[in-house]
Structure 1
């Protein structure tokens, strides 16, 4: 066994590269032509072949190049692999919580690779991503490269090469490992250190196979980080490749055994939900207190910052079946409750006001205008209450959930000002989801979600034995919710001109804000706003439209929006998800969360606010779906299977 040699850097990290992804290289030769908006029956180019729904595969040696590298993670380390199974570009990896002094997610440099020559046009080639096992395999004429980011050991990435004698491996890189990177805290000073290290060796009794282990560890001191990385790499290598692969595979198998989504009659949708749930699950470190950025650990286009994406789009997608993973996102918000209180106090308000963008310090890191996008705070309170409704965890509610939820309620009861003439409480000068509009008064979604939090805080107070602030109920009952009586629908804001919007906004009062209203009002509100979002906006809008249409019982309309939520955005044979139709980025976990919500809460009808009414709620399945089964839905400490057919919905205890 050898340690800290030049070769492993070239083998391992040259291809754990963000080749062309946000924050990485973007060479002209890797430019991908944007996908045009498809018709209803169009297919996402290259993806969703009729095969095993857990395997994504290609024989195109150019597929995993440029912006379309394959993202693998364990919630601690994020890496993107190229078409060679490890790649040939200088690249980087990312580690959760590793931000620089400017609060941008810091890439860890990798080396340049010249290890295995690129496949020739006539050479046999196959690359396969096994979603169930979290393993990438790249097969050449006489060799196979197997790669994974260990789900069993948070600090390591493993590469195994079979079929090439060690003396045929070429190298020629600059060794950049062993260098420590500082993690900066709230005061702009290092609080922890991260160090990369590696080890490699030939497999026992083998002449043409070997294993490389890359470790990325952190500690309070620089020397501690170096020691931890070296130990992690050497210990893992000593275990052997087969043992590392087995423990990694078992970790994933146990995860999938807990829960699942089965769509009978639509192999494309089945493969899609498998891949998107995989992307979400692999981006969360269960038991940690870090949240998930819009592109997870695949790049730093958004600097790795945390937005409303985490609480409103990703959290609910995990909550129904994987509340332990969803809890991480809440624990991040609880960890930064003191900073949220400081933000509110600095503005002259009570309670807790969460930043639109945040990183390791919990402070506001957004450009000045966007710092008024206050629906993010309501989204945090919403997620906290949803977690309690799903789990029934009163100990968590008392210790963590209630401090967050009551802080959010205190903030909105302080921020909302009473209009003496109308008697309504108003929230003025805020950004809504339609960011193109800028600051507005009484964004209906913001106010409706604030109302939800104010009412939830009152209920939570009684559960944990805390006094109920009477102003919460007063503001909730009388908060301004702009409504057009002639149209019979809620508007997006005061003085709504009913013009185009960046993304879904006014319709969000139906879901996720769940503003109580007659079905006729919900239908008119949805019909008023659904056509408004621009077609170059982010991917989440169509998935929310699919969800709402399904809850309204509109099966064909729900299917149309469901297809539009992914077909224009999925790239290549590995079902990579782009934020916009006209862009190509590696991973957009926000969009993944939206699509999964459309399946779970839309077609599936899961509803933690009204669990007992689920069986009688409207049923809407895409016409091609024979049935939808959602296994492992957790509610109040029990597990359930939700089954939906054209004839109705059943909820059965497991």
Structure 2
């Protein structure tokens, strides 16, 4: 049940009669830890949620808020089942940002107070406040139908299915084994319910990066989910497709064709004001195309290829063809861009970017051949497709013959060597 979170909390005195007080809360606009001194941290919004409704009746709690800037409405409701052998006293209260249930009981050693809390979340950019309240209340009712045991059984089945497909076993090091499984769980938790929304860089682990998505989604998160929770990948890429109007507008603003996807975003617009380590990292376009190709190859989902991947590939290929240029020798270059190394910004012919762009261009030409009617609908003709192939075949991949390695970007090996011997430990 995707809208539901639940917890069971038990308290038992050990050696003396004890008065137990438990408070269960729903909290909005909670103050976040200060990030002073962290140059990566953006200025946090103060109280980003506007209150619209608060309620506390009996064991039932509810809050409804609306985001100040984007106008998204979010609702959360909670209900409780309380069990104890003796007398139980409860009281509830609410205000704009807090809805609270207080439970009090006196227990002897060996007696146990048990509280089962079930929480329903919902959000919408279009539904009214009453509709959102009804939505979360309906989710609570559905969860109550099967009770605590039903929720546990459903969750166990869901996770058993995931681990059967995703588990990685590490022999000989229990700490690494635990770390790998913990990381797998976090990826599932953050990405498996993408639902045509961005998968944020920090997942559900904290407020870092303000919920924004980067190229990490397509290159680090989606590859794992492609083979373990492919439906989540389709949803994440459909979200990218839904942001194409903003990406096309951005490309036009930059004097380019196709779609210039943002380096950092939560709603499809560019969230970074720093060009060298923001918009200049055009490789995000090829990263999105790569994820779409990988998903289609792994799943054989031709409907997705026609309806989503094709458009993503076409618009990103158009970007590369207009961003790059042929020199007088016919070699295709992509200048003035930033690769994955944000500390080597605005360079020419970044090797990673050029390789990914080449793959993007070829994949776009191939998918247009497989779906000619849909390609025509997007305005692709044989001349444009041929131009993509020509650029891909001519793209420059920097290589230093003397050292025998591919340079990070053109001229990278001419930089002054770092003086490691005289560099301090800090």
| Alpha-carbon offset, residue 309 of structure 1 | 0.4
User: Are 2:78 and 1:202 equivalent residues in the alignment?
Assistant: no
CA contact (8 A) 1:211 1:237 kept: no
Shift of 1:238: 5.6
Q: Which runs of 5+ in 1 are unaligned?
A: 1-152, 502-530, 537-581, 583-654
In structure 2, the gaps of 5 or more residues are 29-53, 55-61, 87-111, 376-380
Question: What is the aligned partner in structure 2 of residue 168 from structure 1?
Answer: 20
What residue is the counterpart of 1:211 in the other structure?
Answer: 116
1:419 paired residue number: 327
**Pair 1:334 & 2:241 matched:** yes
Q: Give the Cα–Cα distance (whole angstroms) in 1 for the partners of residues 408 and 298 of structure 2.
A: 29
Q: CA deviation at 1:263?
A: 3.7
Matching residue within 157, 171, 178 for 1:250: 157
Q: Residue 157 in 1 paired to residue 63 in 2?
A: no
SS class of match (1:491) = coil
Aligned to 1:32: none
| Aligned length in residues | 348
In structure 2, do the counterparts of structure 1 residues 298 and 317 end up closer, same or farther at CA, with 3 Å as the change threshold?
A: same
1:372 corresponds to 2:280: yes
| 1: CA distance, partners of 2:9 / 2:204 | 25
Distance in 1, matches of 2:356 and 2:199, equals 22
Q: After the TM superposition, which residues 618-637 of structure 1 pair with which residues of structure 2 at under 5 Å, given as runs?
A: none
Q: Match for 2:293 among 373, 376, 385?
A: 385
- 1:230 counterpart = 2:137: yes
SS state at 2:169 partner: strand
Structure 1 residue 234 displacement after superposition = 4.9
Give the Cα separation in 2 of the matches to 1:411 and 1:324.
28
Does the 8 Å CA contact 1:442/1:494 hold for their aligned counterparts?
yes
The Cα shift of 1:175 comes to 7.3
1:182 and 2:77 correspond: no
User: CA 1:491–1:258 in structure 2 vs 1: closer, same or farther (change >3 Å)?
Assistant: closer
Instruction: Write the mapping of 1:185-334 to structure 2, written as runs, cut at 5 A.
Output: 190=71, 192-203=72-83, 208-219=113-124, 220-237=127-144, 239-286=146-193, 288-334=195-241
Other-structure match for 1:574: none
Query: C-alpha distance in 1, partners of 2:73/2:169?
Result: 43
Shift, 1:265, TM fit? 4.5
Report the counterpart of residue 394 of structure 2 in structure 1: 478
Q: Return the offset for 1:372.
A: 1.2
Kept after mapping to 1: 8 A contact 2:192/2:229: no
CA–CA separation in structure 2 for the residues paired with 1:226 and 1:478: 58
1:539 corresponds in structure 2 to: none
- CA deviation profile, 1:191-222 (whole Å, cap 9, x unmatched): x4112222112249897322112222224112
For 2:27 and 2:162, the matched residues in 1 are separated by: 37
Q: Does 1:408 align with 2:316?
A: yes
More helix by proportion, 1 or 2?
A: 2
Give the secondary-structure state (helix, strand or coil) at the position aligned to 1:405.
Answer: helix
CA distance in 2 between counterparts of 1:218 and 1:495 reads 50
Assess, with a 3 A threshold, how the Cα gap between structure 1 residues 427 and 274 changes in structure 2: closer, same or farther: same
Instruction: Give the aligned partner of residue 528 of structure 1.
Output: none
For residues 164-208 of structure 1, the C-alpha deviation after alignment (integer angstroms, 9 at most, x for no partner) is: 499622449897654432257xxx552x41122221122498973
What's the offset of the Cα at 1:157? Answer: 2.1
* Deviation, structure 1 residue 375: 0.8
Q: Does 1:431 align with 2:332?
A: no
Distance 1:382 1:173 in 2: 43
TM-score, normalised with respect to structure 1: 0.49
SS at 1:447's partner residue? helix
Residues 325-381 of structure 1 show CA distances to partners (whole Å, capped at 9, x for unaligned) of 332322221121222122112211111111001112x11111231221111111111
Matched, 1:494 2:403: no
Computed over aligned residues only, the root mean square deviation of the Cα atoms, in angstroms, reads 3.1
**Deviation digits for residues 215-272 of structure 1, max 9, x if unmatched?**
2222411222223233433553464322222222222122223443334454444333
Larger Rg belongs to: 2
For 2:230 and 2:24, how far apart are their aligned partners in 1? Answer: 46
Q: Deviations over 1:503-543 (max 9, x none)?
A: xxxxxxxxxxxxxxxxxxxxxxxxxxxx9xx999xxxxxxx
Cα distance in structure 1, aligned partners of 2:123 and 2:353: 39
SS of the residue 2:7 aligns to:
strand
The CA distance in 2 between the partners of 1:174 and 1:393, in whole Å, is 41
Task: From the superposition, tell whether residues 535 and 198 of structure 1 become closer, same or farther in structure 2 (CA, over 3 Å).
Answer: farther
3-state SS in 1 of match to 2:208: coil
